[in-house]
Amino acid sequence: MRILHTSDWHLGRTLEGRSRLDEQVAFIDELSGIVEDNAVDLILIAGDVFDTVNPPAAAEELFYEALNRLSAGGRRGIVAIAGNHDNPERLCAAGPLAVRQGITLYGLPKEVLLPSSSIFTQLNPGEGSTVRRAAAGQGWMELAIPNCPPTIVAMLPYPSESRLNEVLSASLDEKILREEYSKRVQQLFTTFAQHYRPDAVNLGISHLFVRGGVESESERPIQLGSAPTVEVNALPVGAQYVALGHLHRAQSVKGAPIPTRYSGSPLAYSFSETGYAKSVVLIEAYPGQEVTTQEIFLRSGYPLVKWRAKEGLAQVQHWIDEGKDLNAWIDLEVFVSNSLQAQDIHNLRRQRERLINIRPVFPETEKIAAEARSKLPIDELFRKFYQDRMGGAEPEQELVAMFLSLIDPDNNETTLLSDQQIGVDKEVESA
C-alpha cells in the first residue's frame, strides 16, 4: 500500500499580517494531484492542521474541502491528529460525519475510538469499496482499506500534561521532568503498539518533539502544561514507519530504530526557513517488510528570501527593476547613512507588495555590533554562527565541545553551558 505523510498545515496563518490563504489553497490543489498521481491509499496528517485554536472560517472551510477531495468519496483513508496549535475538540467536531468517508479525526491522547458500527455497515452495502475501521480502541485502530492489507495505526496527538490530564512529576527539576515525560510517552506507545500484527502494515503517528530534531523560528510555543522533548526509544516498537509533526523543517529523526520522519510544513512560515525545501513523504509498505520512502518536493507557496542591500536604496531599486525574486516574500535590510523616509518605504512597497520587512542598517551600528561579537567567548561565537547557519537551531553540547577541542586541543578548561541549561533553552524555543 502507499501512504502519504504531511503535517503542520497551519491553515489561517499569516506572515506579518499578510494572508497566506491563496498559497494554502494552492498547496491543497498540489497535494490532491500528488495523491492521485501516486495512487495513495492512506494520508497521515500529523497535527497542527490550524494555526490557532480558534481558526477563521475560511481556514476551516479549506480544511473540510481538502478532506472531501483527498478522501475520494471514502475510497482513500485519512488520519488527522491534533497538534499543539489545534483545539482537539474543535478539530474532531465533525468526526462522526468524517468516519463515513473513511476519515479519522483524533484529538486527545487517551481518547477511545470505536470501530465502524454494524448499523453503519448495513446502511452501506458497498462498504467493501470504502475505508472503514475494522477495530479500534484507546490510541489505536485497524483500518480496512480497499485492495490493501490490514493497516494498524498507533496515534498520539500532542501529549502535553494538560491534554493527558496527568501530573507526570512533582519535581521542578528539568532533567527529571524530561525523563518522566519521555517515559510516559513510551508507556503510551508501548500500550498502543500491542495491537500490531505481522500480517498488517503497522504505523505510528504523533505530534511531539523528539530529541535531536532541528527547529526553526516559525514553531511558536502554544501549550498548556509542559511538553518537553522525548527520547527516540519512546517511539512505538514494531512500527514500520512513524509519521511526526511539530518541526517545520523536513528531516529524519537521528538514531531512531525505525524509519521516523518529520514531513515539515508545506509552506515556509518565517524567514528563518529561507532556503528550506518543502515536501511531503510517500511511503510504500508491505506487511513484515521494511518500507521505502520518497520525498516529494512541493512547488506551491511563495519562497521567503532575504535581501541585504549594502549599496543602499539604489541597489534595491535595481533588484526590483530587474525582477529579482519576483514571486517571493522579501525581508529587506538596506544600508543607509540617514534614516529612511516614509516616501522611500511607500515607494518600495508600492512596487513590491510582498516586501514584508524593511530594516535600515547604519554602518556605525554594524561596527559596534561586530566589536561586541569579537568580545564574546569562542564557544558563544560558535553557537551564534551555528544558529545563523541552521535557522536558529541550538548546537548539541557534544558538537560545541568537539569544535573547541579542534581549535585548542590542549585546553580542557573552556567554560561551556551546562547540559541542563541547554535543555532548558531548547524547551523554551520548542513549539
Would you give the DSSP letter of residue 99? G
Q: What is the largest CA-CA distance in the chain?
A: 77
Q: Give the β-pairing of 201-207 and 241-245.
A: parallel
The answer to whether residue 424 scores a pLDDT higher than 50 is no
pLDDT category of residue 415 using cuts at 50, 70 and 90: very low
β pairing state of 329-335 and 14-15: unpaired
Query: Which of the four pLDDT bands, split at 50, 70 and 90, describes residue 372?
Result: low
Mean local confidence (pLDDT), 79-97: 95
314/423: higher pLDDT = 314
Concatenated DSSP letters of 345-397: HHHHHHH-TTEEEEEEE-HHHHHHHHHHHHTS-HHHHHHHHHHHHTTTPPPPH
pLDDT at position 174: 75
Return the bridge partners of 297, or none.
279
> Cβ neighbours of residue 232 under 8 Å, at least 6 residues apart?
210, 211, 212, 253, 254, 255, 256, 257, 260
398 band by pLDDT with thresholds 50, 70 and 90? confident
Beta-bridge partner residues of 260 = 242
Element (H, E) at 193: helix 174-193
What grid cell was written down for 282? Answer: 510517500
Q: Identify whether the C-beta of residue 166 lies closer than 8 Å to the C-beta of residue 131.
A: no
Which of 154-163, 364-373, 400-409 has the least mean pLDDT? Answer: 364-373
Q: Supply the pLDDT for residue 285.
A: 98
Average pLDDT over every residue of 12-35? 96
Q: How far is CA 292 from the centre of its chain?
A: 21
> Phi and psi of 112, rounded to 5°?
-100, 120
Check residue 386 and give its pLDDT. Answer: 76
- Tell me the angle at which helices 419-429 and 174-193 cross, rounded to the nearest 10 degrees: 60
Residue among 99, 27, 43, 47 at smallest CA distance from 247: 47
For position 373, what pLDDT does the model report? Answer: 60
Nearest CA-CA partner of 222 in 108, 87, 105: 87
Q: What is the mean pLDDT of residues 321-338?
A: 93
pLDDT of residue 382: 80
**Are the C-beta atoms of residues 6 and 263 closer than 8 Å to each other?**
yes
Residue 304, C-alpha cell as written in the block:
521567503
Nearest to 88 by CA among 65, 62, 56, 110: 110
pLDDT, average across residues 31-54: 97
- 378 or 100, which is more confident: 100
The pLDDT of residue 365 is: 58
In this prediction, residue 118 carries a pLDDT of 44
Look at residue 62 and tell me whether its pLDDT is greater than 50: yes
d(CA 394, CA 396): 7
Give residue 37's pLDDT: 98
Contacts of 16 (CB under 8 A, 6+ apart): 356, 357
Q: Which residues contact 242 (CB under 8 A, 6 or more apart)?
A: 203, 204, 205, 206, 235, 236, 253, 256, 258, 259, 260, 261
Q: pTM value?
A: 0.81
User: Residue 374 — φ and ψ, nearest 5°?
Assistant: -65, -20
Closest C-alpha among 6, 77, 40 to residue 285: 40
Q: Confirm if 6 and 40 have CB atoms less than 8 A apart.
A: no
Among 57-71, 108-122, 315-329, name the one with the lowest average pLDDT.
108-122
Enter the C-alpha cell of residue 276. 528550506
pLDDT above 70 as % of the chain: 83
| Calpha distance 129→383 (Å, rounded) | 55
* Short-list 68, 50, 67, CA closest to 59: 50
